[in-house]
């Protein structure tokens, strides 16, 4: 056997990041300047293991591995023992202990943690998108969105955008105000990607009066008057008809309920958003 520098073999049926981090943590405890780490990701066949063993037995080697596929894990352990190569199984003690506590069996499917990480980053991306394109801040976001919400003030556009973002849906929203023409980009968005939000005028008066109160303003402000609200609702209805988009009345609905209806609408028309894109 070559008595040279230590070679740490990282073997995994996924990408091997976990095993490599553990190996680096271990090697940091030694005053060792010369060593090599070799990573072998996506090992899914017995022949791959045999080839790695053949290489490792010629060197001063230690194997650190994360194999959730039990048959391959057994092959690796048996072949390492035959050739007197120390090997450290990172995953098995952890998942077996958890299985005992949970009274359940692990799925033993490679790469699940990476999928969880990807799902997390998609959610963060969707949340950042909702913040960036909230309240019509940048019309350029409309063509990038999975979904566009439109409606007058206080129809839950922002809460719905954020709620759906947590389901990995990229949402932009546009306020409809009679004095301001909707962005031209809105009329280039396919109708199947747009949801109109409307509400009961009496309910909206209550909501807007509470908003004025919170801001320290008088209830009699035009913002909370029936004439103004009816004008806005008529304007919004006209825009929604021009766009030909579905419309949801959010008057007595919680954000969760409205979001569920929106997702159901998309399922019915076959337009996939979020994870399904």
The model's pLDDT over 22-75, given as tens digits with 9 standing for 90+, comes to 999 999 999 888 899 999 999 989 999 999 999 999 999 999 999 888 899 999
Residue 170 sits in a domain whose CATH number is 3.40.50
Give residue-wise pLDDT tens across range 229-261. Answer: 999 999 999 999 999 999 999 998 999 999 999
105 lies in the same domain as 128: no
- The whole-model pTM stands at 0.62
Question: Which of 61, 76, 110 marks a domain boundary?
Answer: 110
Per the structure, the complete domain to which residue 209 belongs is given by: 118-276
Task: Looking at the structure, tell me whether residues 249 and 150 fall in a common domain.
Answer: yes
Helices (H) and strands (E) counted in the chain, each on its own, are 9, 8
Q: What is the pLDDT of residues 68-109, one digit of tens each?
A: 888 999 999 999 999 999 999 998 888 889 888 888 877 667
Pair (173, 254) in one structural domain: yes
Residue 139: inside a domain: yes
Is the Cβ–Cβ distance between 150 and 173 less than 8 Å?
Answer: yes
Binding residues: 151-158
What is the pLDDT confidence band of residue 121, given thresholds at 50, 70 and 90? Answer: confident
- Mark whether 106 and 122 lie in a shared domain: no
pLDDT digits (tens, 9 = 90+) for 128-144: 999 999 999 999 999 99
Considering the chain, what is the average pLDDT of its residues?
90
Reading the block at residue 37, the tokens are 């780490």
Based on the domain organization, do 53 and 174 belong to the same domain?
no
Greater confidence (184 vs 220) lies with 184
Tell me what pLDDT residue 107 has: 66
Measured distance CA(163)–CA(160) in Å, rounded:
5
Binding positions for ADP are 151-158
Q: Are residues 85 and 153 in the same domain?
A: no
Domain count, the chain: 2
Quickly state the pLDDT bin for 116 (edges 50, 70, 90). Answer: low
Tokens 């009496």, residue? 202
pLDDT at residue 150 tops 80 = yes
- The angle that helices 157-165 and 255-269 make with each other, rounded to 10 degrees, is 70
61 domain residue, yes or no: yes
Distance, CA of 145 to CA of 186 (rounded, Å): 11
Exposure of 191 in the CB half-sphere (CA atoms within 13 A): 10
Specify if 227 maps to a domain.
Answer: yes
- Going by pLDDT thresholds of 50, 70 and 90, the confidence category of residue 112 is low
Whether residues 179 and 104 share a domain: the answer is no
CATH number (domain holding residue 11): 3.40.50.10280
Q: Are 242 and 164 contained in the same domain?
A: yes
Contact 169, 273 (CB under 8 A): yes
According to the model, what pLDDT value does residue 277 have?
43
Where does the chain have alpha helices with state H? 17-27, 46-56, 70-82, 91-102, 112-132, 157-165, 201-214, 226-243, 255-269
**pLDDT score for 276:** 43
Q: Which of 94, 110, 126 is the last residue of a domain?
A: 110
**Is the domain of 127 the same as that of 74?**
no
Residues 6+ apart with CB under 8 A from 273: 146, 147, 169, 263, 266
Would you state the structure tokens that stand for residue 51, as one six-digit string?
A: 């080839």
Q: Are residues 90 and 175 part of one domain?
A: no
* Residues 19 and 144 grouped into a single domain: no
1 belongs to a structural domain: no
Residues 231 and 260 in one domain: yes
Separation between Cα atoms, residue 145 and residue 235, nearest integer Å:
24
Q: Give the number of other Cβ atoms within 10 Å of residue 63's Cβ.
A: 24
């Amino acid at each position: 056997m070559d008595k040279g520098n230590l070679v740490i073999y990282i073997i995994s049926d996924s990408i091997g990041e976990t095993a490599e981090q553990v190996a680096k943590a271990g090697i940091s405890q030694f005053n060792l300047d010369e060593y090599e780490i070799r990573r072998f990701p996506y090992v899914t066949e017995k022949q791959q293991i045999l080839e790695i063993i053949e290489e490792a037995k010629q060197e001063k080697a230690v194997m650190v591995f994360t194999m959730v596929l039990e048959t391959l894990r057994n092959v690796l352990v048996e072949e390492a023992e035959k050739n007197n190569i120390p090997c450290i199984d990172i995953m098995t003690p952890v998942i077996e202990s958890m299985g005992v506590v949970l009274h359940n069996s692990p799925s033993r499917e490679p790469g699940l943690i990476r999928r969880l990480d990807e799902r997390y980053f998609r959610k963060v991306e969707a949340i950042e998108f909702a913040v960036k394109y909230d309240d019509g801040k940048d019309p350029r976001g409309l063509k990038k969105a999975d979904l566009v919400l439109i409606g007058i003030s206080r129809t839950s556009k922002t809460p719905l955008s954020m709620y759906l973002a947590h389901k990995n849906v990229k949402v932009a929203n546009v306020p409809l105000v009679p004095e301001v023409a909707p962005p031209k980009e809105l009329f280039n968005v396919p109708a199947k990607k747009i949801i109109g939000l409307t509400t009961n005028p009496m309910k909206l008066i209550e909501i807007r009066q509470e908003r004025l109160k919170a801001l320290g303003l008088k209830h009699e402000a035009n913002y909370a008057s029936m004439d103004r609200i009816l004008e806005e609702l008529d304007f919004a209805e006209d825009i929604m008809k021009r766009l030909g988009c579905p419309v949801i009345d959010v008057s007595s609905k919680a954000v969760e309920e409205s979001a569920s209806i929106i997702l159901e609408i998309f399922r019915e028309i076959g337009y996939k958003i979020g994870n399904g894109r």
